[in-house]
Copies of this chain bind each other. A is one copy, B any other.
Amino acid sequence: MQPFVWESRIRFVDTDASGRIHYTALFRHFEAAEFEFLRSLGCSYVTLEEGYPRVHVECDYLAALRCDDTISTAVTVDRVGGTSFTLAFSVSLEGRQAAKGKITVVCIDRETQRPRPLPDRLSESLRTS
A interface, CB within 8 angstroms of B: 9, 11-13, 15-20, 22-24, 27-28, 31-32, 35, 44-46, 51, 53-62, 64, 66-68, 113
Contacts and interface: CB of A to CB of B under 8 A. Distances in A.
Nearest to A18: B51
Determine how many copies of this chain the complex contains: 4
A18 B28 CA distance: 16
A44 to B, nearest CB: 7
Contact of A11 (B18, B31, B51, B66): B31
Contacts of A24: 13, 24, 27-28, 31
A76 B24 CA distance: 21
Contacts of A28: 11, 13, 24
